[in-house]
């Protein structure tokens, strides 16, 4: 008997309407469109402006659209995992809220906290449940990064945007689906990229608010060097492990953090630009949503059997790659 694997059988996304352009950012901090495009590669990013709507709202929109798109009944979903670092609140979990709002009455839920690697970690976790006998699982990657972005910090405020994505996982005995993964974490990198306050070590207080410790902190150069080397290493490793040449790989699907990081990783992998999914210029870094947002945008170009390497690097540090064979031809 063929081994059961997990296949992505549908994908959907939700994007807020508001576009925060570089020109608008330049009225808020000392920056410019030229500076941002040259160093980061982002032209605009989507922002959830409504203060009463957050990650669970966006995730629910993505899930409801996915159910409709794949003709799936809400009660068929057995498990929902949400990758996010911007939960609506500490508890209940964002997954719990999404499942309730989307009518997933038979699903149990939990959140995955792994920063920009969160979607990959959640995808592989969901795949393991499918291999263990589950039939229908939804993986959400969603973040309202504008909620933890300091718009007085010119080094970080151009980076982030808001978005939510949802993918449906189902079992298959065909030679498609999630084939393999390589994951790593290294807590020594936490000092370079973190959100200091709001947890049990530094609970919210007047002092933490005054010191602006509830926003993302990043040491750009340290993160850049680590991200390039680790994302490239793990991506090349998984290609070599499965004997995939640059010509045979259909697409690299990289985390969209910085155009220079993406280009450096692609060079290490020996890939031409046409084999790299890039949409950072439109959406910025949406953290757990970036990789599935690429898959959603490229869905009509993907064909059954296409070989993809999904690669990410995130705060903590966390990093990894997933090798998948695409499971379907998109029908509009």
Whether residue 294 lies in the annotated active site: no
CA distance 144 to 148: 8
Q: Which residue has the tokens 């959640």?
A: 122
Catalytic residue selected from 22, 157, 285, 294: 285
**CA 306 – CA 295 distance, rounded (Å):** 12
At 24, give phi and psi (nearest 5°): -70, -40
Q: What token pair was written down for 109? A: 């839920």
Known catalytic residue: 285? yes
Rounded Cα–Cα distance for residues 290 and 269 (Å): 20
CA distances from 261 to 173, 182, 247, 253, 256 (A): 36, 19, 21, 13, 9
Write out the H or E segment, with its range, that includes residue 307.
strand 307-314
Known catalytic residue: 255? yes
Catalytic residue among 22, 116, 181, 294: 116
The residues annotated as belonging to the active site are 116, 255, 285
């Amino acid at each position: 008997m063929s081994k059961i694997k997990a296949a992505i059988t549908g994908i959907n996304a939700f994007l807020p309407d508001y576009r925060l352009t570089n020109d608008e950012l330049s009225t808020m901090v000392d920056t410019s469109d030229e500076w941002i495009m040259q160093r980061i590669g982002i032209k605009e990013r989507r922002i959830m402006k409504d203060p009463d709507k957050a990650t669970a709202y966006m995730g629910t929109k993505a899930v409801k659209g996915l159910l409709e798109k794949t003709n799936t009944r809400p009660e068929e979903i057995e498990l929902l995992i949400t990758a996010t670092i911007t939960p609506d609140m500490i508890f209940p979990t964002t997954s719990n809220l999404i499942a309730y709002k989307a009518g997933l009455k038979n699903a149990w839920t939990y959140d995955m906290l792994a920063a920009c690697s969160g979607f990959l970690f959640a995808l592989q976790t969901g795949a393991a449940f499918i291999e263990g006998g589950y039939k229908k699982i939804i993986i959400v990657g969603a973040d309202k990064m504008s909620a933890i972005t300091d718009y007085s910090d010119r080094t970080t405020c151009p980076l982030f945007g808001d978005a939510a994505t949802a993918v449906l996982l189902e079992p298959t005995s065909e030679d498609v689906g999630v084939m393999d993964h390589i994951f790593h974490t290294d807590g020594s990198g936490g000092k370079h990229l973190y959100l200091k306050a709001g947890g049990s070590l530094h609970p919210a207080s007047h002092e933490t608010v005054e010191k602006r410790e509830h926003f993302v902190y990043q040491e750009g150069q340290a993160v850049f060097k680590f991200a390039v080397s680790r994302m490239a290493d793990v991506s090349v490793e998984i290609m070599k492990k499965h004997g995939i040449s640059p010509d045979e790989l259909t697409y690299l699907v990289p985390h969209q953090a910085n155009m220079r990081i993406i280009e450096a990783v692609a060079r290490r992998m020996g890939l031409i630009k046409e084999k790299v999914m890039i949409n950072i210029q439109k959406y910025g870094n949406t953290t757990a949503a970036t990789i599935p947002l690429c898959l959603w945008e490229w869905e009509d170009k993907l064909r059954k059997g296409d070989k993809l390497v999904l690669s990410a690097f995130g705060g903590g540090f966390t990093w990894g790659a997933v090798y998948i064979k695409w499971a379907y031809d998109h029908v509009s």
